[in-house]
Structure 1
C-alpha cells in the first residue's frame, strides 16, 4: 500500500491566516486582509495576497478561479490540521508520549477555568 504524502505544515504566519479563514469558510484576499486588520493594522494587502498564493502552492488553501476575485478556502478542516500538528509535536518533543504533553501543558499553561473544564471532561461530566 502506497504511503500518502505528508500534509503540508503551515508557518506561524500561515497559521494566523488560516485562523482567520476557517470561520469564514472561504474568502477573497480582500476579506482576509480586512479581518487581519483588526489585529495587524500595519499588514499590507499585498502581503496577504503573497502569503495566500504561497499557501495555495503548498496545498494549505484551495482556490476558486471562476470569478474575477479568486476565492480561497482551507484545504483541510481546522481539527484535521490541528490533529496533525499535535501528532508531530507529541512525536518530536515528547517522544510520542501524549501523557507527557498533557502534563507539560497542565504545568502553568492552563487557567483555573480550563483546568476545571478538563477535570469535568475526565470525570465524564462535560457536554
Structure 2
C-alpha cells in the first residue's frame, strides 16, 4: 500500500466517515478546519483515484468518490511505520507519549483498561 500524504489522509478520513461523497462535499468538510482551495481538493482526489486509493462513480453529472483503501489497514500500516521510526519499536514509549498529550477521559481509561485486560487474558 502506498503511504498516503497528510492531505490524502485528511480526505480518506472524511470518506471513511461519509462512505461516499462528491469533491464539493469533501471540500466543504476540509474547509471547516483548514484554508484550502476547491481546485486543490479536486486535484488531490484525482491523484488519489489514479493511485488506486479512491473509486470514482461517473454515472451522474456529479462524480462520487469512495475509498478503496481500508481504514484499519491504513492505520495499522501508518502506526507500524511511526512505531519503528519515531519510537524505536517501543510500544510502551508510543503509548506513554500518546496518553501524555491529552488527559484521557474516565470512559477512555476504562476502555484502555479493558483492552489491556483482554491482551493479558489472551496471553494466558
Band of TM-score, shorter chain: 0.7 to 0.9
Structure 1 gaps of 5+ residues are: 1-6
Q: How does 1:73-84 map to 2 (within 5 A)?
A: 73-84=66-77
Structure 2 unaligned blocks of 5 or more = 119-124
Question: What is the TM-score with the length of structure 1 in the denominator?
Answer: 0.75
Cα shift at 1:116: 4.4
Deviations 1:44-99 (A, max 9, x none): 22111011111222222122223322221111121221111111111222333323
Task: Say yes or no: does 1:13 pair with 2:25.
Answer: no
For 2:84, the equivalent position in structure 1 comes to 91
Q: Indicate the SS of the match to 1:66.
A: coil
Cα root mean square deviation, aligned: 2.1
Q: How many residues align structurally?
A: 116
> Which of 101, 108, 111 pairs up with 1:109?
101
Superposition TM-score, scaled by structure 2 size: 0.77
Q: Distance in 1 between matches of 2:68 and 2:86?
A: 26
Partner of 2:112: 118
Once superposed, which parts of structure 1, at least 4 consecutive aligned residues long, lie more than 6 Å away?
none
